[in-house]
């Protein structure tokens, strides 16, 4: 699903358009209006929730087929199952190293800043019913259950249900089999290419509704929880946002610099996607757009097809920082003194429970419940989560944003690791990014080159 052209030819800069037609400006205005409505008329703002829900639902209905087509095409275009395994292994190694670093940073910051110190919460007086739903879901999500949930009831159930891990499984199996068919599998690859083009063009139509979705979601959030909620636990919120920002600029920035690009320019390159995620609190809403933009940077079709979808389940830097930082906050808030063994358990359990929290609003809260429940001796009761229930929505935006940035950087890194990244094209494309709507709706995906070298997008 790439575009054949000269390897070093960067896309021509998009023609200037009126500022009010630029998507990220529309999203910014919509977010501001949503905040204003939520503050001035909270009851009316709450009724706008359906707008955000509808936009997320429209995007999510396309995620499974797009992921399926992209992964199958990516594996089939490689034509070498050994390379598929090599790329997948490199991606997983990168994910685990960076995710573990994010977990450790959350612990270190929590110990240094002590955001929950002096809170003086009495666990016996907390409203456990407020988080009962999250706790019960976390208990059901044991290691065995977590593994079994990856296996769908049927091949088509994975696509119908939209579970990313299940879609990954059936897509990988399909791609491997088609590759093994050789020449006989080419008609199937062509059919999947055409289907992928259809799905991406549908996404191009849906994305134009992003400002409406961002307005509805932000209006509801402010109307439901109020701006004042931020003041109650501002220390934790501020600590989380600052920690995530430093993680992006310092840790991911160092990785980006080593890979030959600037993290600041990369953030500017994906600014449209970041603003949509900010408005909807879900990184899934921009998954197709990230794939297109990573290809445009020069990452090969096969690497994009494997790394981005897998990263949405296995490379959740923001969620990892949140889980360890929030766990320490709650432990400090209820006066629990954690041992070294309990710290180790928190990190190990969080590494497992974070897998599969694929950018969906609220998923981080469920994984936090699972982590607390697994700490030996139960020093921090799950009921303590009631302390941060009111502000979790405000932190979910930061989780999703950090996850998105981390997956984008991972794609570029693995592409460079594979020797399939054109550094000249990388710099030129970042200097002349195209609007998100232009990329999705006006481009026709075509198969990658025969030798699977990165090729530039042609207008």
Q: How many helices (H) and strands (E) does the chain have?
A: 23, 0
d(CA 85, CA 114): 43
Cβ-count burial of 235 within 10 angstroms (0-12 exposed, 13-18 middle, 19+ buried)? middle
Give pLDDT, residue 102.
92
| Sole residue written with tokens 């409505």 | 37
Give pLDDT, residue 456.
34
Give pLDDT, residue 56.
76
Give pLDDT, residue 14.
46
d(CA 1, CA 116): 49
Q: Where are the domains of the chain?
A: 19-441
- With CA atoms as reference, report the closest residue to 350 among 96, 91, 112: 96
Give pLDDT, residue 444.
40
Give pLDDT, residue 437.
46
Give pLDDT, residue 447.
36
Cβ-count burial of 120 within 10 angstroms (0-12 exposed, 13-18 middle, 19+ buried)? exposed
CA distances, 402 to each of 9, 102, 233, 235, 351 (Å) = 31, 11, 21, 19, 16
Secondary structure class of 270 (helix, strand, coil)? coil
Is residue 321 within 8 A of residue 429, CB to CB? The reply is no
Q: How many residues does the chain have?
A: 459
Cβ-count burial of 132 within 10 angstroms (0-12 exposed, 13-18 middle, 19+ buried)? middle
Q: List for the chain the helix, strand, coil content (%; round to 5).
A: 75, 0, 25
Give pLDDT, residue 409.
93
Give the DSSP H or E segment for 240: helix 234-246
d(CA 195, CA 181): 20
Render pLDDT for 355-389 as a digit per residue (tens, 0 to 9): 655 544 455 666 777 777 778 777 887 777 777 76
- With CA atoms as reference, report the closest residue to 320 among 254, 391, 268, 247: 247
Give pLDDT, residue 251.
94
Give pLDDT, residue 443.
44
d(CA 23, CA 214): 12
Tokens of 329: 């906050």
Contacts with 186 (C-beta within 8 Å, 6 or more apart), sequence order: none
Long-range contacts of 436-440 (CB under 8 A, 24+ apart): 436/23, 436/24, 436/207, 436/272, 436/273, 436/289, 436/293, 437/23, 437/204, 437/207, 437/208, 438/14, 439/289, 439/292, 439/293, 439/296, 440/200, 440/201, 440/203, 440/204, 440/207, 440/288, 440/289, 440/292
Contacts with 14 (C-beta within 8 Å, 6 or more apart), sequence order: 434, 435, 438
CA distances, 152 to each of 61, 164, 259, 312 (Å) = 17, 11, 37, 18
Give pLDDT, residue 121.
65
Q: What are phi and psi of 127, to 5 degrees?
A: -85, 95
| Fold topology of 19-441 | 1.10.3860
Is residue 275 within 8 A of residue 122, CB to CB? The reply is no
Give pLDDT, residue 125.
61
- The DSSP call for residue 375 is S
| Intervals of the chain under pLDDT 50 | 1-14, 359-361, 436-459
Q: Indicate the pTM of the whole model.
A: 0.70
């Amino acid at each position: 699903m790439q575009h054949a052209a000269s390897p070093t030819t960067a896309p021509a800069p998009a023609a200037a358009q009126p500022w009010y037609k630029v998507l990220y400006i529309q999203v910014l205005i919509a977010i501001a209006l949503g905040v204003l409505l939520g503050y001035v008329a909270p009851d009316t703002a709450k009724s706008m929730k359906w707008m955000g829900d509808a936009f997320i639902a429209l995007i999510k209905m396309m995620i499974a087929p797009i992921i399926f087509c992209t992964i199958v095409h990516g594996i089939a275009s490689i034509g070498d199952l050994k390379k598929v395994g090599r790329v997948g292994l490199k991606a997983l190694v990168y994910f685990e190293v960076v995710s573990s670093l994010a977990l450790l940073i959350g612990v270190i910051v929590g110990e240094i800043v002590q955001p929950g110190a002096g809170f003086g919460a009495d666990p016996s007086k907390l409203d456990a019913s407020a988080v009962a739903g999250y706790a019960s879901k976390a208990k059901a999500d044991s290691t065995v259950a977590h593994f079994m949930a990856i296996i769908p009831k049927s091949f088509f159930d994975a696509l119908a249900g939209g579970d990313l891990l299940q879609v990954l499984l059936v897509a990988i199996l399909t791609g491997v089999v088609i590759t093994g068919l050789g020449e006989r599998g080419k008609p199937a690859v062509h059919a999947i290419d055409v289907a992928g083009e259809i799905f991406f063009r549908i996404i191009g139509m849906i994305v134009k509704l992003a400002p409406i979705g961002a307005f509805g979601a932000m209006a509801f959030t402010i109307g439901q929880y109020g701006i004042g909620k931020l003041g109650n636990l501002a220390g934790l919120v501020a600590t989380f946002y600052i920690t995530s920002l430093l993680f992006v600029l310092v840790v991911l920035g160092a990785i980006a610099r080593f890979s030959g690009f600037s993290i600041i320019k990369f953030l500017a390159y994906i600014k449209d996607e970041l603003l949509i995620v900010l408005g909807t609190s879900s990184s899934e809403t921009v998954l197709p757009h990230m794939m297109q933009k990573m290809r445009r940077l020069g990452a090969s079709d096969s690497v994009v097809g494997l790394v981005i979808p897998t990263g949405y389940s296995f490379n959740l830097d923001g969620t990892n920082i949140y889980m360890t930082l929030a766990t320490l906050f709650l432990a400090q808030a209820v006066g629990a003194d954690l041992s070294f063994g309990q710290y180790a358990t928190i990190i190990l359990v969080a590494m497992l429970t974070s897998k599969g929290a694929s950018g969906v609003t609220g998923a981080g809260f469920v994984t936090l419940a699972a982590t607390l429940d697994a700490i030996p001796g139960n020093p921090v009761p799950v009921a303590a989560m009631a302390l941060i229930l009111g502000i979790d929505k405000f932190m979910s935006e930061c989780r999703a944003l950090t996850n998105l940035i981390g997956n984008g950087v991972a794609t570029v890194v693995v592409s460079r690791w594979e020797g399939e990244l054109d550094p000249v094209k990388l710099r030129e494309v970042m200097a002349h990014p195209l609007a998100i709507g232009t990329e999705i709706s006006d481009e026709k995906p075509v198969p990658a080159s025969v030798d699977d070298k990165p090729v530039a997008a042609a207008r």
